[in-house]
Structure 1
């Protein structure tokens, strides 16, 4: 294998409209645990799970679509992607005290290293990247 080759591990899950966001979080938490992140990077795990909650909720509520969730770890970044069938791209909106919702993409923007939304022939994919913030050794 050449030095420029990239090794990655990944998982995918479809979440129909009648599935809960908790199902997505629990599924993702299991995979983050398999990477050792629940012990070594618990704050990053919280950020990833909150982002997954927002993106799956957006797919279900705003796109009226199943959410197709993909996690891929390439040893530098955890790529979190959610695909839905709506062509409408999300954009962060300024907070509004009169509105109860609309802050999801602001949260994603604050939590993820980077994020982007891309149109696809059958909808869109929202992608966010996370690098683990390793915890200090216990006892220090």
Structure 2
């Protein structure tokens, strides 16, 4: 029998964990306080380990395709002339902008859609209580429903 895993929070970290755990054969449930999946938010740079994780998940190309298209950053003076430019193609290593720049909501949706085949998602509920047992933890959710998790 697969271990039963409960994740609270269906945002970037929760959906990523659900993808990995579900793919590894665990029985994963994700609960989220919001009544439905939430996207939106500002742009984020994905670098280093985050980029490697997306690559290992097979999502790096999809994230790049959904990127903001930002090519760099420029500071403009009062007359509209550029005074400093930092273009992604001209920077080695970490700089003020990254090649993989994506809106937070687009990244969250990409990860959520990838995780859905690997986990059950329950929106509009929260954990109210956790009771430790010999073989499992019994979790009581808002509304009185319960579940047993390892």
Higher strand share: 2
**TM-score, scaled relative to structure 1:** 0.22
Instruction: Please identify the structure whose Cα radius of gyration is greater.
Output: 2
RCO (CA 8 Å, sep 6+): is it higher in 1 or 2?
Answer: 2
